[in-house]
Chain A
Amino acid sequence: MDTELVVRAQRGDEGAFASLAVAAGDRLHAVAHRILRDTDLAEDATQQALLNVWRDLPQLRDPARFDAWSYRLLVRACYAEARRTRQSASNLRLLPSDQPVGADGLSSVVDRDQLERGFRRLSIDHRAVVVLHHYLDLPLSEVAETLGVPEGTVRSRLHYAMRGLRAALDADARPTRREGAQ
């Protein structure tokens, strides 16, 4: 991110902020969409996060940390959206679960369905850790800094989140294998 743009926006330059919003909008929305798994909620969270970025920019001490700071605001906006609606899995389109198992024991169509189910069962805390680490490739230390929690907490959340996703995948694989053995 162009720190000069950040500094100008911190001083109230709306044009500089517009450039920042365009540059940051895609990545923030992509993260929001992956955490919330809902287009409307993700759009609302992105919009609110960008407005909060503008409002709180003067409080950002190190402009070079803009990206991590903006992710923190985004995750907070995701929490707020999730609390506001609580519609979790109600819109989930269920895919057929009798898909053939691939050579590696995992079918891509079934995996998506099971992952979607498993992921939606996770709390926003756990989803955020999974997305920041496995989608953005942030090291755990940066995930901790972004979320404002200790690194041990991040490790714990990631462990339980991945265990939940693995259970979701295995829940699909087990009956299919049993059927295959008959």
Chain B
Amino acid sequence: MSTERDVERIVRSWLDEGVNVVPERVLDAVLDRVPATPQRRVSWLARRTPTLNTYSRLGLVAAAVLAVVIVGIGLFGKSLNVGPAPSPTPSPSASASLVAASNPLAGTWLAAEVTCAQQVAAIEAAGYTAEQITQAGADLVAQQGGSADGFFDPTCANASKTDQYSVVFDGLPLAATIRSATIYDHGAVTSPQSYGVTDGSTFEFGNHNGKAWDICLTFHYAIVGDVLTITSIDPRCPGAGDAPLLDQIALTAFFEAPFTRQP
């Protein structure tokens, strides 16, 4: 009777025998079909920041504590310094006001809390059919590997769940006219995004890879006082194809309620 080690050794030896080179015709067939095979771009919903586990949360807390300690030491150390004052540098508030002057969206915006039913009603009011909404829910489940418990679920599987969206248009440049943005739900990061202000009433929003838009939608906006209103959506941007249905529907829900500028 053979021992476990005998069997393992024989199996390994047996597996080492055999084909090791892919026939050229296989590669040729693949490369011939690539130009006609579109790549599946990922919805921005599926790119949302994954839920942090306990260790990740502890790590972030530790990093935050360490940052506070370092800043504290720096401030304390400066207070002990003697000698000539350092040369003046531009203050952060001066930089922020420059950004705000050229970019009216720059800043943090918060919407009111909404239920899933309210969001679905807004999607239907925008002209999407129940079938399209169901399809978007199925796409979301597929992209997230079997669950739709993210910050928006078109199927409203959890009817009692509410969302409160905020968006930070933060002004960090990603490309010539493209800057970063971050979407939050109840204060938790859900999705890093990109945007570009086209003019005084239009901006583009989606996934920008640094060279071109992977997914992009065009929005019209109006700012009255401290209130930002998104009034219409075009599911594409100049030079880019239609955004996936899921993105169209989710952003309809996301931008449905007015946002208020936060300090």
Contact = CB atoms under 8 A, between A and B. Distances in A.
Interface of A: 11-12, 14, 17-18, 21-22, 25-26, 28-30, 33-34, 39, 42-43, 46-47, 50-51, 54-59, 104-106, 111-112, 115, 130-131, 134-135, 162, 165-166, 169-170, 173
A165 B30 CA distance: 35
A135 to B, nearest CB: 4
Contact of A135 (B16, B31, B40): B16
A10 to B, nearest CB: 8
Nearest to A135: B15
Contacts of A34: 15, 18
Given A43-B23, A106-B2, A166-B4, A130 B11 contact: yes
5 contacts: A14-B34, A58-B214, A106-B10, A134-B8, A169-B6
Contacts of A12: 39
Given A26-B21, A29-B22, A47-B29, A56 B6 contact: no
Contact of B26 (A25, A58, A135): A25
B42 A46 contact: no
B39 A29 contact: no
A125 to B, nearest CB: 17
Given A34-B15, A131-B15, 13 more contacts: A21-B31, A26-B22, A29-B26, A42-B19, A43-B26, A46-B26, A47-B30, A55-B39, A57-B39, A59-B42, A105-B6, A162-B4, A166-B2
B78 interface: no
Contacts of B33: 51
A57 B37 CA distance: 12
Size class of the B contact interface (CB-based, 8 Å):
35 or more
Given A14-B35, A51-B30, A55-B37, A115 B10 contact: yes
A106 B29 CA distance: 42
B18 to A, nearest CB: 6
A169 B26 contact: no
Contact of A58 (B6, B19, B40, B211): B40
A22 B26 CA distance: 10
B55 interface: no
A30 B19 contact: yes
B39 A58 contact: yes
A56 B30 CA distance: 14
Contacts of A170: 1-2
Interface in B14-64: 14-23, 25-27, 29-31, 33-35, 37-42, 46
A173 B10 CA distance: 14
A173 B40 contact: no
Given A58-B40, A135-B12, A50 B30 contact: yes
Nearest to A177: B1
B40 to A, nearest CB: 6
B224 interface: no
Given A33-B19, A162-B7, A58 B34 contact: no
B209 interface: yes
Contacts of A112: 14, 17
Q: What are the nearest 3 A-B pairs in CB distance?
A: A29-B22, A25-B22, A135-B15
A55 B40 CA distance: 6
